[in-house]
Chains A and B, each alone.
Chain A
């Protein structure tokens, strides 16, 4: 699951011509560290939803990678 999240993030970064990230930690921040805009985060939710059937932003804001993992583990 962690690899999949990283893969989706890199998919989004590639489309924006940003370099790939090698790894992320629980504390990596979506906006500040990964340069994701709200449009990118919208894409992130759609791609993760297609993969796991879970809308990670449904119950409120998600700021870090760790919070995504938490939503997916519920």
Chain B
């Protein structure tokens, strides 16, 4: 029978998964586990029995989640056994699930917000059918976050195999791609940057999806070299709304059937409440939610746009607004740079100043001054980081995004 998951040197079949779902009589509404298989098994048990479930990051401590009673964590609750005859039946039950699924936003700043979703909103963009069988997914996201649930549903509903590569180093990721013949990867741009530089092509990969943060042209070129047979696309998903639209290259297209559910104000994308999960912390402006994502139209009548940055990420330097993503793009384009992180430091003269951490490609010998000179020739003066540190590793958040604080 087909393999459900390869994780931490263990292999779990769909048969084993189904046996567990049928024979276990309990599940944990608040489940915290570093083991991906037991995490998924608990989630599936909750969904097929229509029970509420809260997705808790395996690295959470009580201090991270003051609104959660930690005494409840990993406390099993009786729900009774199931009697699914095959995976098809189990998946149908999953699709019909009325469970409330609580997800926390991962935001780079501030307290996490809780958002309640249903299978209907989370699996809105799952594609099923002959064409989607036999896919082998690299599981590269944090499983408790929106993007991770998207990959989970897409793979599970098609009985695909997942290979856990979340948090693994570069060599291990490449090994797993070859060993299991991974065909699909969905991950943050940061994940793909970690795979640079190009050393060898991996022809088994047919589809590469980027999500979660802005990515640049240079990264696309590298991805195309490493995965020469892959179609590359970008996905726009948020904890608030789930996956909304995907597109080719660096543009997104709002599907025609939901185009009237969006507005743009001061470059910010506004999403109609009918597309969102439930949360007390959403502040609506009439019927619309401010996404905080700044976009520019490429073709407004066709709903085609480009993602510019996060609104709250703009750095105010002595009254000038700096988009850290733009500065990172410029740094990443310099020969010898593997990855960069541009962030803000409080300053008594200008309010803030822009500083950067840069990770170089192995063997490259660039100095902070050389990087600054290149940037000075390309960017306005106020955008050039005033201090550039060459580092071995950049600081990252648990979602695999870069940490700007």
Contact = CB atoms under 8 A, between A and B. Distances in A.
Asked if A and B bind, the verdict is yes
Interface of A: 11, 14-15, 38-39, 41-43, 45-47, 50, 55, 57-58
A3 B251 CA distance: 52
Q: Is the interface of A mostly helix, strand, loop or mixed?
A: helix
B127 interface: no
Interface of B: 318, 345, 347-350, 353, 355, 369, 372-373, 376, 381-382, 386-387
20 contacts: A11-B369, A15-B372, A15-B376, A38-B318, A39-B318, A39-B350, A39-B353, A39-B386, A41-B349, A42-B353, A42-B386, A43-B353, A43-B386, A43-B387, A45-B347, A45-B349, A46-B347, A46-B353, A47-B387, A58-B348
B373 A38 contact: no
Contacts of A11: 369
A46 B387 CA distance: 8
Nearest to B318: A38
B347 A42 contact: yes
B372 A38 contact: no
A39 B382 contact: yes
Q: Is the interface of B mostly helix, strand, loop or mixed?
A: mixed
A45 B348 contact: yes
Given A15-B376, A46-B355, A46-B386, A38 B345 contact: no
A14 B376 CA distance: 12
Contacts of A15: 369, 372-373, 376
A15 B355 CA distance: 14
Contacts of A55: 348
A38 B353 CA distance: 11
A38 B347 contact: no
Contacts of B369: 11, 14-15
